[in-house]
Amino acid sequence: MSRLPLLFCCTGLLLTNTANAASGGNEPIQWNTLLPFVLLLALTLGVTRWASKSNGSAADFYTAGGGISSWQNGFALAGDYMSASSFLGAVAMQAIYGYDSLIYGVGTLIGWPILLFLIAEPLRNLGHFTLSDVVAFRLKKRPIHLLTAVNSLLIVLFYLVIQMVGAGKLIELLFGTSYLLSVSTVGILVLLYVLFGGMLATTWVQIIKAALLLVIGSFLCFMVLRTVGFSADRLLARVIQAHPQGMAVLAPSNQIADPINTISLGISLIFGMVGLPHILIRFFTVKNGAAARKSAFYATCIIAYFYTLVVVIGAGATIFVMQNPKFIRPDTQLLIGGNNMAAMHLGSFFGGEWFLGIMSAVAFATILAVVAGLTISGASAVGHDIYTHLFQQPKRDSATELRISRIASITLIALSVLLSQLVQHLNISFMAGLVFAIAASTNFPMLFLSIFWRGLTTRGVIAACLSGLISSVGLLILGPTVWVEILGHDSAIFPYSNPALFSMTMAFAAAWLASVTDRSPSAQDERAGFDAQYYRSLTGIGIHHPSAH
């Protein structure tokens, strides 16, 4: 605990160096940008210091001891999912592609009712800390925990690199610092949240940034609607008038022209979200299955409202930003900072430089919150799934497990900073699709079948995970996104950019085939244990509080 003031001082010095670098040592500091950053960081670091008093065990570190209320967890779930790409990228796509971009918002939103009605309550009733607890409930624990942990670590690491590159580029753009200093700042701040505040601090950082993001989105939506007299007809008319495609912007076009690719993209968005480790771990932070279901309901409502705002904000960006000379680089005729800055420029248009500074700070906090959630889910895979279940059975040493998880957090952040440094100049947009494709093709089939199918065996889980992982990665590499656009080949071996339709189908098929052909005595025992598992998944009877586990 005594190290907290020292780390606060280190953070302050780091921010001072960032400000000095931004000013070039001579130019005045951009206080309209820096001040919101400092205030928001001070608030979140204060929350971390408060939360550090309740972060003394592995259960506190992973799940805040199961003491998060349903409404808090609902906001945190929404905050965990509403990343900077969800806001900045979604607004940019809406402004550029119009109708076609709706598949991303709608596809994402559909996944939340699946969590609400099918997954949330059984997940909490069967598990303690991780997805592995649920999948291994009636199966062989050691191979299941190892396999699912490694798979979750791959997803977490890919997602961390994406977020780190985004964070580094944002700070680099706003303050003019080097990329290494920018991304290192993010890494240090996230470690402060995670190491000292654990899941409790991460939860409140996510709640704060979700609330701020909703306030900012509501303001921009209100300002856009006010300019058209709160008339949807006038808004669409202005979009048609401002967009280069005219009326075509309101109709399906080349972005969703291929039905197979579009369906595959939708499957990736829907079921990939359900399989994200940092989303699933949040359902273990509440006390029981009913609270998990309520938190999923709150998160669904918040995200539905958020994506409704995005549609209007994207229309506003089309009208007021995309063709506005104030926001266009004269030499390239492209948007200053890239198309993903469309929402930022819209904020500057309506709220001036100070509001732009606030939006930048919230975008930065958004990245910090997502990275913190990812880090804890990755650390839990190492500490709980790998260390405890592979090396500490049958006795569990909570103190050592917590120390291992903290070391894993530092390692994950250091590795993600290093990898982001190596790929910062590459187009890594395909990695976001890879994350969702892997999650949809591995974690979702394993989780769904383990909860609802009596016939699933350990061999079936292993077959599902390996086939889903290999096929999703392999097909993406052989597809046009990597094989043609990155590797430079003339044509793709696999014709579709989104492999989830095929890789998820292969995972389910592999699980079925491996399970029905498994005649071993252990497989018979695993099938016999389904009734007890199913009863507990519905009732929660027999569940223990995480802090007592």
pLDDT band of residue 274 (cuts 50, 70, 90) is very high
Q: Which two tokens stand for residue 386?
A: 């790998």
Mean per-residue pLDDT over the chain, rounded? 86
The average pLDDT across 8-18 equals 41
Q: Looking at per-residue confidence, does 166 or 298 come out higher?
A: 298
- CB-based burial label for 81 (10 Å; 0-12, 13-18, 19+): buried
| Superfamily covering domain 3-548 | Sodium/glucose cotransporter (1.20.1730.10)
What HEC string does 363-428 produce?
HHHHHHHHHHHHHHHHHHHHHHHHHHHHHCCCCCCHHHHHHHHHHHHHHHHHHHHHHHHHHCCCCC
Which residues have CB under 8 Å from 327's CB, separation 6+? Answer: 321, 335, 336, 345, 348, 349
Q: How confident is the model at residue 516 (pLDDT cuts 50, 70, 90)?
A: very high
pLDDT band at 327 (very low <50, low <70, confident <90, very high): confident
What is d(CA 419, CA 161) in angstroms, rounded to the nearest whole number? 7
pLDDT at 58: 85
Claim: this prediction has a pTM higher than 0.85:
yes
Find the Cα–Cα–Cα–Cα dihedral 75, 76, 81, 82, rounded to 10°.
60
Which whole number is the average pLDDT over 508-534?
Answer: 94
The two structure tokens encoding residue 452:
């609802």
Rounded Cα distance, 303 and 90, in Å: 13
Residue (of 157, 127, 547) closest to 378 by Cα position: 157
CA 322/CA 328 separation, integer angstroms = 8
> Looking at residue 424, what is its pLDDT?
77
DSSP string, 259-301: HHHHHHHHHHHHHHHHT-HHHHGGGGSSSSHHHHHHHHHHHHH
Measured distance CA(158)–CA(156) in Å, rounded = 6
Residue with tokens 């279940």: 389
For the chain, the distance separating the N- and C-terminal CA atoms, rounded to the nearest angstrom, is 25
Tens digits of residue pLDDT in 527-542: 999 999 999 998 888 7
Domain boundaries, the chain: 3-548
Between CA 289 and CA 475 the distance in angstroms is 37
pLDDT of 230 above 60: yes
Name every residue whose Cβ is closer than 8 Å to that of residue 507 and which is 6 or more positions away in sequence: 441, 442, 445, 464, 465, 467, 468, 471
The reported pLDDT for the residue numbered 15 is 42
Round to whole Å and give the CA distance between 111 and 452: 18
Residue 316 has pLDDT above 60, yes or no: yes
Q: Which residues contact 149 (CB under 8 A, 6 or more apart)?
A: 130, 132, 381, 382, 385, 386
> Is residue 338 scored above 50 in pLDDT?
yes
Residues of the chain with pLDDT > 90, as a percent, come to 51
